[in-house]
Structure 1
Amino acid sequence: MLKNLQDIRLSLLDLVAVREGMGVGESLEIALRTAQKAEELGFARYWLAEHHNMPGIASSATAVLIGHIAGGTKSIRVGSGGVMLPNHAPLVVAEAFGTLAELYPGRIDLGLGRAPGTDGPTMRALRRDRVETEQDFPRDVAELQQLLGPATPGQRIIAMPGAGTNVPIWLLGSSLFSAQLAAHMGLPYAFASHFAPRMLYQALELYRDLFRPSATLDKPYVIVGVPVVAAPTDEEAEFLASSTYQRILGILTGNRTRLQPPVADYAAQLSPSESAAIHDFLRLGVVGSRDTVRRHFQSVAESTQADEFMLVSDVYDPALRLRSLEIAAAAMAG
């Protein structure tokens, strides 16, 4: 089915990469400048992802950073993509995002993930001895909805701030579980196809087939994650994307590092198995010029019928990353 790219909203997910040779403070400054550029380009939202105990990611204190970004921008929605709910008590999340919503009315999103966003020992350090079960996530999401909604007579626990802010809740996932839950609860759904695209189409079909309208949403709304490295030429984009390839290989091999500078002919140095694994990781991604990016965006739009693309763009040079976003926005515009 044909879909007009101009009908699709564009947003950005930022892991706040710590670059080799730079510090965390610089990374946070780069994140703010990136959000400001995304706002200038007309992006709908700028999301930050919660990860812990990872040397190359500085977005662990997600709510704190959302406040910093929202304070340095004017209109773009800012939120979590996501808060990893197993790491937090719902009341703590409600109070944090309720505070943000009071500070920046109409601009805060609460995206929720079911994974811990870290390793087992770190998760235990975050929540001590709590044992998570499959039933906890749906129950915690429902509790958050209640805490962020209007307080009811006799309600014993009230999020203050939080109650009555109705911060929009999004469910995130890379499997069928969150797709079914989002459909059942009538919530918008974001699929993490920027790193785990394998079950994308099955999850979207399930979400749309099972969707029940709610007070929040009257019809399905889908965001898909799309990695992009754009440059004036395909050749330069491929060179810049070598930073992304190095990051992915580090994830796959358990050797996580800071974001590395690009390397000439990096892809040619990979083994066939490494190349295949990186390609599988980036199955929904695109590396190339404006024309290449536009053709890919059109293909993704038609295959997913997405309402919104959540871009991820890991480019080592901050200025060239902003240029990548400019080219991607121009590709969407025509």
Structure 2
Amino acid sequence: MTIPLSVLDLSPVSAGSDAAAALRNSVDLARHVEAWGYRRYWVAEHHFVGVASSSPAVLIGQIAAATSTLRVGAAAVQLGHTTAPAVVEAFGTLAALYPGRIDLGLGRSGQRRAQALDAAKRGEKPAPPGPQGSTVVRDGVVIPPPYDLTGLLLSPRVAASLQVLQQPGAQPPDFDSQVDDILALLGGAYRTEDGVELHVSPGEGADLEVWVFGSSAGPSAELAGRLGLPFGANYHVSPATTVDAVAAYRAAFRPSAVLEKPYVVVSADAVVAEDDATARRLASSYGVWAHSIRSGHGAIPYPDPADAPALTEEQRALVEDRIVTQFVGSPSTVAERLDALRRLTGADEVVITGITHGHEDRLRSYRLLAREWGLPALRAA
């Protein structure tokens, strides 16, 4: 049986365009993928970069209003610079308006930088940027060496971004505690440290799904398992550690009122075209875009392949793991690679994030993949 496909959208701003067009394109893509049989449409949260998905709850409301059956959600809300009540009230509002269709994805932010700062204060030097080992292929899936992000987390730009996103003097809260608070608020069991009951409306009893996202075999994977929540593993962000993250989640899993057994979604970055050569051309500027992130400058507007500069050898080395783990090619080429990822991770669902400079090319990519994968809406098309 074909497992479901879903979408993760960053609302990318294309070079020469603007954020307004990117947001309209996201709504248009959501309408199309709903018709093509995709299960979910998730939006990411990023700030001060060349993507337009900076306010997930607002964008989710627009996409939910423009569709009728698609599940819509965040992958993921960055808990490091918000509060549990703010998250529950925002997504409780969405769930009240679109019951049974909202996904609340939770992810760490700020905590990893705090850990990097503590290490720097102890005199520990971060590993040099770039891969730390050799690339291997496991059962048809490319597993690159781990990439140390400590240097990027300590960059002045990242520091400035996190500082602006938080109230003066605020510290990133403990992720586990925030997730516990969110679940307590949703379930009507929240108590302050002094024992005072607080109830949120809308939010309490909201008809939504809570997810935890993670990139490694660390606290996020273990927390998702311990709480019996569904888990999102980010192969498109951290391909070196995805398999370990899924294993850690399954090892920690305890049945809950939400799930009797583990449920895993694995992400992949994919660009599909009628043939391999066309797909490679459409994806040829991806490395430049990925380098803008890895170099600490933040994601630039997505370059046009027609005039994107070639990466230097040094620049390519910085993003080689992202390039070789992008799924690029004809429908059969990409579907075969995605199925290998599914088999290796045992994923229950695959979420596709694909960026092209042209909106029509992105629509075509998702449509071709839906047909090749055998999604019901296009199986006979």
| Global fold match (TM > 0.5) | yes
Equivalent pair of 2:213/2:233 in contact (CA under 8 Å)? yes
Partners of 1:283 and 1:262 in 2: CA distance: 18
Please report how far the alpha carbon of residue 290 of structure 1 lies from its aligned counterpart in structure 2 after TM superposition: 1.1
* Mapping for residues 171-190 of structure 1, pairs under 5 Å: 171-175=212-216, 176-190=218-232
**CA deviation string 1:145-202 (max 9, x = no partner):** 1111246899621111101114211001112221111111111000111121111111
Aligned match of 1:71: 65
**CA deviation string 1:38-88 (max 9, x = no partner):** 11111110011111111x111111111110111111110000001001111
Please report how far the alpha carbon of residue 11 of structure 1 lies from its aligned counterpart in structure 2 after TM superposition: 0.5
The 1:42/1:160 distance shift into structure 2, 3 A limit, reads: same
Aligned match of 2:186: 148
Partners of 2:270 and 2:307 in 1: CA distance: 18
Aligned match of 1:124: 163
Is residue 263 from structure 1 mapped to residue 303 from structure 2 by the alignment? no
* Mapping for residues 293-308 of structure 1, pairs under 5 Å: 293-308=334-349
Is residue 231 from structure 1 mapped to residue 225 from structure 2 by the alignment? no
Partners of 1:73 and 1:139 in 2: CA distance: 34
Question: Which amino acid in structure 2 is aligned with residue 75 of structure 1?
Answer: T
Match of 1:139 among 174, 177, 181: 177
Aligned match of 1:289: 330
* Mapping for residues 86-235 of structure 1, pairs under 5 Å: 86-116=80-110, 119-128=158-167, 129-132=169-172, 136-150=174-188, 156-175=197-216, 176-235=218-277
Question: Which amino acid in structure 1 is aligned with residue 254 of structure 2?
Answer: R
Question: Which amino acid in structure 2 is aligned with residue 211 of structure 1?
Answer: F
Equivalent pair of 2:227/2:256 in contact (CA under 8 Å)? yes
Equivalent pair of 1:36/1:73 in contact (CA under 8 Å)? yes
Q: Describe the SS at the equivalent of 2:11.
A: coil
Partners of 2:284 and 2:101 in 1: CA distance: 34
Equivalent pair of 1:195/1:282 in contact (CA under 8 Å)? no
Equivalent pair of 1:297/1:332 in contact (CA under 8 Å)? no
* Mapping for residues 31-46 of structure 1, pairs under 5 Å: 31-46=26-41
Gap regions ≥5 residues in structure 1:
none
Partners of 2:253 and 2:190 in 1: CA distance: 27
Partners of 1:197 and 1:33 in 2: CA distance: 29
Match of 1:315 among 340, 349, 356: 356
Please report how far the alpha carbon of residue 273 of structure 1 lies from its aligned counterpart in structure 2 after TM superposition: 4.3
Q: Describe the SS at the equivalent of 1:198.
A: coil
Please report how far the alpha carbon of residue 139 of structure 1 lies from its aligned counterpart in structure 2 after TM superposition: 0.7
Partners of 1:274 and 1:164 in 2: CA distance: 49
Partners of 2:69 and 2:42 in 1: CA distance: 14
Equivalent pair of 1:239/1:264 in contact (CA under 8 Å)? no
Please report how far the alpha carbon of residue 254 of structure 1 lies from its aligned counterpart in structure 2 after TM superposition: 2.7
Aligned match of 2:124: none
Partners of 1:265 and 1:145 in 2: CA distance: 45
Q: Describe the SS at the equivalent of 2:269.
A: strand
Question: Which amino acid in structure 2 is aligned with residue 140 of structure 1?
Answer: Q
Q: Describe the SS at the equivalent of 2:255.
A: coil
Question: Which amino acid in structure 1 is aligned with residue 355 of structure 2?
Answer: D
Equivalent pair of 1:211/1:220 in contact (CA under 8 Å)? yes
Q: Describe the SS at the equivalent of 2:334.
A: helix
Question: Which amino acid in structure 2 is aligned with residue 161 of structure 1?
Answer: P
Aligned match of 2:75: 81
Aligned match of 1:11: 6
Partners of 2:246 and 2:189 in 1: CA distance: 33
Aligned match of 2:149: none
Equivalent pair of 1:173/1:179 in contact (CA under 8 Å)? yes
The 1:264/1:122 distance shift into structure 2, 3 A limit, reads: closer
Is residue 53 from structure 1 mapped to residue 48 from structure 2 by the alignment? yes
Aligned residues: 324
Please report how far the alpha carbon of residue 19 of structure 1 lies from its aligned counterpart in structure 2 after TM superposition: 1.1
State the identity %: 38
Please report how far the alpha carbon of residue 203 of structure 1 lies from its aligned counterpart in structure 2 after TM superposition: 1.1
Partners of 1:150 and 1:251 in 2: CA distance: 40
Please report how far the alpha carbon of residue 125 of structure 1 lies from its aligned counterpart in structure 2 after TM superposition: 2.1
Partners of 1:288 and 1:279 in 2: CA distance: 18
Equivalent pair of 2:158/2:296 in contact (CA under 8 Å)? no
Please report how far the alpha carbon of residue 224 of structure 1 lies from its aligned counterpart in structure 2 after TM superposition: 0.7
